[in-house]
Amino acid sequence: MSEVTPLLQITDMVKSFEIKSSKGFRTIRQELQAVAGVSLDVHGTETVGLVGESGSGKSTLGRCVLQLLKPTSGSVKFKGTELTTLDRKSLRELRRDMQIVFQDPFASLDPRLTVGQAIAEPLVVTGIKGKHDDRVAELLELVGLSPEHRKRFPHEFSGGQRQRIGVARALCLNPDLIILDEPVSALDVSIQAGVVNLLQDLQQEFGIGYIFIAHDLSVVRHISDRIAVMYLGKLMEVADRTALYETPAHPYTHALLSAVPQPDPKIERGRERVVLEGDLPSPASPPTGCRFHTRCPIAQEQCKVEEPQLVEIRTGHRVACHFPLLPGQDLLDMMRDKEPVSQT
């Protein structure tokens, strides 16, 4: 029996930017590698959560998938078609099946267009004829707004309503894949749940695959089937939701999870967190070996010189670490028992 082709297949993606700085009369050019050899699949109607600190390359990866940014190297296949080599016309036709919802719902909507015009814009751009008003009314109802709202302008809506409008616009062409780039981070906590529940309902109704980019691990846990953890342009760990939250294997994942607040005040007060020292290194000058070793509390000499590969340690659970934690191991206990390696 042949394997089912993934909806999206990213292989060894690299995205570099050239940055310039001046030193006296000289111009110094450096290469900043925002995405460094990432391989990731999205199957059918699943949601893959992509988490990590700011500057880890999450949003750059999402834009490279849609070819809004051209990858420096690597492969991006959507429904079996290689996107990186398509001409503009072919890419535009295939983009009907791929959409994005941006982080800031106000900045992503043209203030000069009514909501109806903004939602119908993909139909106009792709040359689809017909009664756009009927489609706009249908989409507004789908996302929980009134069809009468189509005559209003973006500034007349709340943040949560504007994000629902962004979702309606993304649904306009019946896509198979939507990149959700921090879709709820700009919203109040009380509004976030409504938008996340809406996204789940729409996924079940229309069979859409999601890449959900976020830094809030509690939201990611609620919506994702699988989760990929990024650090400084590389994947540190990929696992299904249950495995990642209950048996994380990478020290960085442990640190991220320890920062997630607990709803029970008694548990939260008595909980000890893993505190990472130092700042995220510059992608223009990443550390040798494991990119996380400069902040890893249990790093050893091997971590400084040898880059770990993303390997499967259990079925469906991959980790890039020379010394992955086993189920039941506690990072805090290991930190107490071991002096970290010198980072000089």
Burial (0-12, 13-18, 19+ Cβ within 10 Å), 23 = exposed
Tell me the CA distances in angstroms from 292 to 84, 139, 281, 300, one per residue in order.
Answer: 30, 44, 9, 11
What is the helix (H) or strand (E) element at residue 192, kind and residue range?
A: helix 189-206
| Token pair for 180 | 């959700």
Running along the chain, 344 residues long, what does each successive block of 10 average in pLDDT? 78 91 75 92 94 90 94 94 92 90 84 91 82 89 89 90 90 93 82 87 92 88 93 95 92 87 66 76 88 91 94 93 86 68 47
| Token pair for 271 | 């909980």
Q: Which residues pair with 314 in a beta bridge?
A: 317
Backbone angles phi, psi at 18, to 5 degrees: -90, 125
- From first CA to last CA, the distance across the chain in angstroms is 52
pLDDT (0 to 100) of residue 264: 63
Tell me the CA distances in angstroms from 308 to 40, 161, 240, one per residue in order.
Answer: 17, 44, 21
Strand-by-strand arrangement of the 8-23 sheet: 26-42, 8-23, 73-78, 81-82
Q: Which is it for strands 81-82 and 98-101: parallel, antiparallel or unpaired? A: unpaired
pLDDT (0 to 100) of residue 218: 83
Residue listed under structure tokens 């990611």: 220
| Token pair for 142 | 């789908």
With CA atoms as reference, report the closest residue to 78 among 68, 87, 67, 88.
67
Q: Do 176 and 79 form a contact (C-beta atoms < 8 A)?
A: yes
- pTM for the model stands at 0.89
**Alpha-carbon 323 to chain mean position:** 26
Q: In the chain, what are the domain boundaries?
A: 249-344
